[in-house]
Amino acid sequence: MLTQLSSRSNRRLLMGLQMADIAPALATFSHRLIPLPGQEHKNFADVVMLERISKQTVILPTKTRPRKLVFHGSDGKDYPFLFKGQEDLHLDERIMQLLRICNMMLAEKERDWPSYTAQHYSVTPLGSRSGLIEWVEGATSIFQVYRKWQLRQAPASEIERPSELFMKKLKAYFLDNKLPLQSLADRQKWPHTALKNVIQVLIDETPKDLLSRFYSYSTNISCFFPRHLVLDESCGFVLEAQTRGSV
96 and 120 in contact (C-beta within 8 Å)?
yes
pLDDT of residue 110: 60
* pLDDT beneath 70, residues of the chain: 1-15, 108-115, 154-159, 209-230, 240-247
pLDDT of residue 140: 72
Using CA atoms, how far apart are residues 57 and 17, in angstroms rounded to an integer? 5
99 and 118 in contact (C-beta within 8 Å)?
yes
pLDDT of residue 25: 86
H-helix segments, the chain: 2-13, 19-22, 24-27, 90-106, 142-153, 162-176, 192-205, 212-215, 221-224, 230-243
Residues, the chain, total?
247
Kindly report, residue by residue over 89-135, the tens digit of the pLDDT.
998 998 888 888 888 887 766 665 556 777 788 999 998 889 999 99
Kindly report, residue by residue over 136-160, the tens digit of the pLDDT.
887 777 777 777 777 777 665 466 7
Residue 26 burial class via C-beta count within 10 angstroms: exposed 0-12, middle 13-18, buried 19 and up: middle
**Domain 1-89+118-134 = CATH 3.30.1010.10:** yes
pLDDT of residue 125: 93
For the chain, give every domain's residue range. Answer: 1-89+118-134, 142-234
Q: Closest Cα to residue 21, out of 63, 62, 67?
A: 67
pLDDT of residue 171: 92
18 and 56 in contact (C-beta within 8 Å)?
yes
